[in-house]
Chain A
Amino acid sequence: QQQVKQSPQSLIVQKGGISIINCAYENTAFDYFPWYQQFPGKGPALLIAIRPDVSEKKEGRFTISFNKSAKQFSLHIMDSQPGDSATYFCAAFTEDSNYQLIWGAGTKLIIKP
């Protein structure tokens, strides 16, 4: 019940296309859903995050869509660029989790020029 399932494992998108990464969870106590971006040799960096009382959040070309009833959320990257090539992680958090972020397994995104 503590898992966050992320798909796909890897994704190749043409430059200018839309990249979509999906995550699903079981624990309805989760109350914060961040996405992280990680470049090779670097630590993860917070990209965008959403709370379950919001169905969508947009920051520039990055959008989180949240479906509370389906217990799913997704990251959309519009107009994908080669500089977006990285590994993306979804995660979930609840105040009751003793500071533990529950991480998805990651999606390696490659944007082809």
Chain B
Amino acid sequence: DAGITQSPRYKITETGRQVTLMCHQTWSHSYMFWYRQDLGHGLRLIYYSAAADITDKGEVPDGYVVSRSKTENFPLTLESATRSQTSVYFCASSERGHPFGAFFGQGTRLTVV
């Protein structure tokens, strides 16, 4: 199916564990983004990528790692999960780089206990 898909949709993990959120897009968009959404904060950019093997930090990168070995995949890893990382995570992709034109996935609800 064409589009952008995130997995898993829901995840519960323990403090200190490593967890990876997956994002896959079928459009071959150059740009991909990871956001977190917390009540009262709107969305905040964690990392973005302009192309395969090119990534850069957003507003709130601490505690997260990304990689982009293939254009279509942009996984987000929490190296040692903390309770403050409990959030809904959205992946997005954009053809031209302007984030406002990006298509968003359905989100991953992550709970760190």
Q: Which residues of A contact B (CB under 8 A)?
A: 4, 6, 32, 34, 41-46, 49, 89, 91, 93, 98-101, 103-106
Contacts and interface: CB of A to CB of B under 8 A. Distances in A.
The 8 closest A-B pairs by CB, nearest first: A43-B104, A103-B42, A34-B100, A101-B99, A103-B43, A43-B90, A105-B42, A100-B45
A105 B41 contact: yes
Nearest to A44: B104
A24 B100 CA distance: 18
A52 to B, nearest CB: 14
A93 B98 contact: yes
A50 B33 CA distance: 22
Contacts of B107: 41-43
B45 A101 contact: yes
Interface of B: 31, 33, 40-45, 48, 56, 58-59, 90, 92, 97-107
B100 A101 contact: yes
Contacts of B41: 103, 105
B90 A44 contact: yes
Given A98-B56, A99-B33, A100-B58, A46 B42 contact: no
Given A43-B90, A93-B98, A99 B104 contact: no
A71 B26 CA distance: 38
Contacts of B31: 99
A108 B107 CA distance: 18
Contacts of B43: 44, 89, 101, 103
Nearest to B42: A103
A99 B90 contact: no
B100 A42 contact: no
Contact of B45 (A4, A89, A99): A99
Given A41-B106, A99-B56, 13 more contacts: A32-B100, A43-B105, A43-B106, A43-B107, A49-B100, A91-B42, A93-B98, A93-B100, A98-B56, A101-B99, A103-B43, A103-B44, A106-B42
